[in-house]
Amino acid sequence: MTRLIFPSLIIIGLLFLGGCNKEEQNYVPKPKGYNRIELPEHSYRHLTENHPYTFQYSKHAIVEPDTFPMAGKDWIFINYPRFKANIQLTYKSLGNDPVHLKAFIDDSYKLAAKHQIRASSIQEQRVLGKTGKTAILFKIEGDVPSPYQFYTTDSTEHFMRGAIYFPTAVKNDSLAPVIEYLQRDMVQLLNTLEWR
């Protein structure tokens, strides 16, 4: 019995040594990568729902009503099922009341500041749209669920706040192409925004 075991061990040992080549001996693990994200071409359509505003939004998105209990009747989600993300829009009528305007602007700053715990930076920028409307854009960098937010108003009748949202905080470097894609759609929305 020992005669059979000993030659078998020698054969197994030779096979093991012969099976290793130089490439396997110099193996270096590859760094972690991210999945390739295929993005569709940007194309837009007009919002046809009856709201006090209209704009162009992506043909790859679905407009849905905001179903949160405190949502107003003109609050909507521009949902991107493919990316598991959305642009949430909240609309409020001002009624020519400067007190309401100040409160809504203050709320916009507070909502952006809520991300300070996880954000590496929050940059504020005033942008002028193609239709002449001004918006304040917040770029929130870091692993946050809302990398871009904005508000825009005509200062008398209309106030709109928008935010790109992912369901949870994400590693934004892995989703950078999607974030950039949604940010471009958000800019298109602002560039084509008209009050009714």
Per-domain residue ranges of the chain: 44-195
Token pair for 133: 């409307």
Q: What is the mean pLDDT of residues 85-93?
A: 97
Token pair for 134: 């001004």
Q: What is the mean pLDDT of residues 151-164?
A: 96
Cβ atoms of 112 and 138 within 8 Å: the answer is: yes
**Which pLDDT band holds residue 32 (cuts at 50, 70, 90)?**
low
**Which pLDDT band holds residue 66 (cuts at 50, 70, 90)?**
very high
What span, in angstroms and rounded, lies between the C-alpha atoms of 174 and 113?
23
pLDDT at residue 47, rounded to an integer: 97
pLDDT at residue 134, rounded to an integer: 93
- With a cut of 70, say whether residue 184 has pLDDT above it: yes
Torsion sign (Cα): 81, 90, 71, 122: positive
Q: Which residues pair with 54 in a beta bridge?
A: 194
Q: How far apart are the first and last CA of the chain?
A: 94
- With a cut of 90, say whether residue 170 has pLDDT above it: no
Cβ atoms of 145 and 166 within 8 Å: the answer is: yes
Q: What is the pTM of this model?
A: 0.79
**Residues 6 or more apart in contact with residue 18 via CB below 8 angstroms:** none
According to DSSP, residue 32 is labeled P
What span, in angstroms and rounded, lies between the C-alpha atoms of 107 and 16?
68
Q: What is the mean pLDDT of residues 132-148?
A: 92
Letter for the amino acid at 56? Q
**Which pLDDT band holds residue 21 (cuts at 50, 70, 90)?**
low
Burial environment of residue 41 by CB neighbours within 10 A (0 to 12, 13 to 18, 19 or more): exposed
Letter for the amino acid at 111? L
Average pLDDT, the chain: 86
Was domain 44-195 assigned CATH 3.40.50.970? no
**Which pLDDT band holds residue 10 (cuts at 50, 70, 90)?**
low
What span, in angstroms and rounded, lies between the C-alpha atoms of 140 and 137?
10
Q: What is the mean pLDDT of residues 152-160?
A: 96
**Residues 6 or more apart in contact with residue 191 via CB below 8 angstroms:** 129, 130, 131
